[in-house]
Amino acid sequence: MAVKTIDVVSRALAVLEQVSLHQPASLGALARELDLDKSAVQRIVATLHADGWIRPDAAGQGGWTLTGRALAVGGRFAAGEDLRARARRVLREVHAATGETVWLAVADGGSLIVVDEIASTHVLRVTFPIGYTGPFGPGTAGGAAILAREDDAEPDARVEQARSDGFAVQMSGEVPLWAAAVALPREPGALPAAVVIGVPQSRGGEPELRRLGAVLAEAVRTVYAGA
């Protein structure tokens, strides 16, 4: 027998997510985005504020922003099996060698979620906020890299190429970046994860992207040697 869900909890979580996406988010904007009555949103916002999840915008613009409580919960999600601690070593090595943006993404359901990042030192750069969620699949570098480690992945030329090269590349997508990625060794119970390096399309061609992929693959091999 299916367990009945609690609608008000779903609405509260939806409001919290919308605040994270649009902060500082006003009551009116939240109500429009979620197609909810403004008074209902106001009650949810008051509850989230009282419980320490959100706070009024510090600039006094009348909106709402997340508090550190949301970051603390997110950090515990990403830290299982010492994932972030070891992956951070890869991020630091690759960032030091290339100066480009490097991030750690985990696959959860049908999404890739950014859980750590070191931003590029270049003026023109690509960055993602912690918690950014994108699609998981062979069309992204991170998705192709993770699927290349899965024995039961659906046949796909991009995944097969990633298996052959030792890294995956992405030269198209929703945002103007090129990326290369390498999946991290997966321990039992841990979410699949990949380290990704990204550059603006204007600063790289395929040879450069493949060079960055090789740098990333070597950093993962070095850090995870003997793991």
Does one domain contain both 128 and 170? yes
- Please report the pLDDT score of residue 76 as a whole number: 61
Given 66, 86, 103, the domain boundary residue is: 66
Q: Per-10-residue mean pLDDT for the chain, 227 residues long?
A: 76 88 85 88 90 81 79 61 81 95 89 90 86 87 94 87 94 75 84 92 84 95 81
Does one domain contain both 188 and 84? yes
Does one domain contain both 16 and 117? no
Does one domain contain both 133 and 213? yes
Does one domain contain both 50 and 83? no
The reply to whether 206 falls in a domain is yes
DSSP 37: -
For 85-113, the DSSP string reads: HHHHHHHHHHHHHH-SEEEEEEEETTEEE
Q: Cβ atoms within 10 A of the Cβ of 60, count?
A: 8
> Residue 188 belongs to what domain range?
77-223
The reply to whether 2 falls in a domain is no
- Please report the pLDDT score of residue 75 as a whole number: 62
Q: Give the pTM.
A: 0.73
- Please report the pLDDT score of residue 71 as a whole number: 66
CA-CA distance, 137 to 144, in Å (whole number)? 6
Torsion angle in degrees (nearest 10) through CA of 11, 15, 20, 24:
180
Does one domain contain both 186 and 118? yes
Count how many domains the chain has: 2
